[in-house]
Amino acid sequence: MATHTTQTAVGEREDLADVIYRIDPDETPIFSALKKETSNGIFTEWQVQELAAASATNYVNEGANATFATPTATARFGNYHQISVKDVAVSGTLEAVDKAGRDRELAYQRVLKSLELRRDIEKSIGDTDVARDASDPRKSASLSCWMTNGSVGAGSGAFATGDGTDVITAGTARPLTLALIEDGMQDAWSDGGNPKMLIASATNRANFSDLSASGNLVSNDVNMTAAKATTYVGSTSVFLTDFGTLDVAPSRFMGNDRIFMVDPDFASLCTLQGRNFSEKEIAATGDAEKMQLVTEWSLKVQAPKAHAGIFDLNGS
Three-class DSSP labels, 35-57: EEEEECCCEEEEEECCCCCCCCC
Express each pLDDT in 25-65 by its tens digit.
558 999 999 999 999 999 999 999 888 888 898 999 999 99
DSSP 246-311: EEEEE-TTS-TTEEEEE-GGG-EEEEETT-SSEEEEEPPSSSEEEEEEEEEEEEE-S-GGG-EEEE
Q: Give CA–CA dist 255/257, Å, rounded.
A: 6
In this structure, are residues 248 and 272 in contact, taking their beta carbons and an 8 Å threshold? no
Mean pLDDT of the chain: 85
Block mean pLDDT (10 aa), the chain, length 316: 53 50 65 92 93 87 90 93 93 77 80 91 96 97 97 95 96 94 95 93 91 56 54 65 91 95 94 91 85 94 96 94
pTM: 0.84
**Overall size of the chain counted in residues:** 316
Adjacency order of strands within the sheet including 238-241: 150-151, 308-311, 258-262, 197-200, 244-250, 238-241
Q: Give CA–CA dist 28/209, Å, rounded.
A: 21
Express each pLDDT in 105-121 by its tens digit.
888 888 888 899 999 99
Which stretches of the chain are assigned E, i.e. beta strand? 35-39, 43-48, 75-80, 82-91, 150-151, 197-200, 238-241, 244-250, 258-262, 268-272, 278-282, 288-300, 308-311
Q: Which of 146, 25, 130 is nearest to 82 (CA)?
A: 130
